[in-house]
């Protein structure tokens, strides 16, 4: 079921483009009901235009929109939303994808209900995950309507948890891929060619992900691979302390940076 009213997407960089791709692939936003405001004519904006979306139309077209999705860099959000003031319907909902920008600041700027959503770029394939928080039913409902087909949604009860959610999900795909990259380098150091080590490490990532959609816990998934006394368990035992320290450092740094952006 499509969203009933037009959606305005402000910003069409990496995340905005992934969102456009997911909407056009999975719904619920049709190209005809998508308005994109962007300073750069990115490939994502070009693809949306080719599909029938409106890119940088007259600002008078915004008054019919039911939601405005903000996918700009946090440091420039005030400049990005300034042209929207006084042009949105009274019941339009702001959906912020920006790390570190508080809902109260957005609401003060545009006087509209706010939902904060932090998705991964997997939304492009309908395989993302997204944390969502909103103070109002209207905000939360709009967040769900826009993202339910694109991502597994995790509702948060407290906006203060958004920074931790951003680090744990929004940033984590890059952290995980960095580990895969490190494993490939380790394989090369022990004699594998770079091509072989990279192919094996990438394949291992696909194997790990293959069972993640099931009902097993993470511990159960690990135990399916790591037999007691085996080679995998030996590697896990050797890396456990380092793995925890690296994860704590990565998540902590991302949370601190999110706090600075707001």
Distance CA 187, CA 181 (A): 10
User: Model pTM greater than 0.75?
Assistant: yes
CATH class of 172-261: mainly alpha
Can you state the angle between helices 14-26 and 43-51, rounded to 10 degrees?
30
Distance CA 91, CA 106 (A): 15
Residues 215-244 have pLDDT tens digits of 899 999 999 999 899 999 999 999 998 999
- What CATH number does the domain located at 7-160 have? 3.40.50.720
How high is the pLDDT of residue 262?
A: 63
Q: Comparing C-alpha atoms, which of 62, 65, 67, 19 is closest to residue 42?
A: 19
Distance CA 14, CA 201 (A): 25
If you average pLDDT over residues 160-175, what whole number do you get? Answer: 90
Higher pLDDT, 149 or 4: 149
Q: Are 114 and 134 in contact (CB under 8 A)?
A: yes
Q: Mean pLDDT score of the chain, rounded to an integer?
A: 93
What are the residue ranges of CATH 3.40.50.720 in the chain?
7-160
Residues 104-162 have pLDDT tens digits of 999 999 999 999 999 999 999 999 999 999 999 999 999 999 999 999 999 999 999 99
Confidence of residue 2 (pLDDT cuts 50, 70, 90): low
What are the residue ranges of CATH 1.10.3730.10 in the chain?
172-261
Q: Which two tokens stand for residue 179?
A: 């580990």
- Show Cβ contacts of residue 249 under 8 Å, excluding neighbours closer than 6 positions: none
């Amino acid at each position: 079921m499509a969203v009933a009213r037009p959606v305005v997407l402000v910003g069409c960089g990496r995340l905005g483009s992934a969102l456009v791709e997911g909407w056009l692939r999975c719904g619920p936003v049709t190209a005809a009901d998508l308005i994109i405001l962007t300073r750069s004519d990115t490939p994502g904006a070009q693809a949306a235009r080719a599909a029938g979306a409106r890119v940088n139309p007259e600002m008078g077209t915004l008054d019919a929109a039911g939601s405005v999705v903000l996918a700009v860099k946090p440091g420039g959000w005030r400049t990005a939303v300034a042209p929207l003031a006084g042009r949105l319907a009274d019941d339009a909902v702001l959906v912020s994808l920006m790390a570190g920008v508080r809902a109260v600041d957005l609401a003060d700027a545009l006087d509209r209900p706010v939902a904060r959503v932090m998705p991964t770029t997997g939304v492009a394939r309908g395989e993302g995950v997204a944390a969502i928080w909103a103070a109002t039913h209207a905000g939360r409902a709009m967040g769900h309507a826009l993202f339910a087909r694109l991502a597994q949604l995790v509702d948060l009860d407290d906006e203060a948890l958004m920074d931790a959610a951003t680090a744990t999900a929004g940033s984590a795909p890059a952290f995980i891929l960095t580990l895969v990259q490190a494993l490939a380098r380790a394989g090369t150091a022990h004699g594998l060619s770079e091509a072989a080590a990279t192919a094996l490490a990438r394949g291992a990532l696909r194997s790990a992900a293959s069972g993640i959609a099931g009902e097993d816990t993470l511990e159960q998934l690990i135990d399916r691979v790591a037999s007691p006394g085996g080679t995998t368990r030996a590697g896990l035992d050797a890396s456990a302390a380092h793995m925890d320290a690296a994860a704590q450092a990565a998540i902590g740094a991302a949370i601190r940076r999110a706090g600075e952006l707001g």
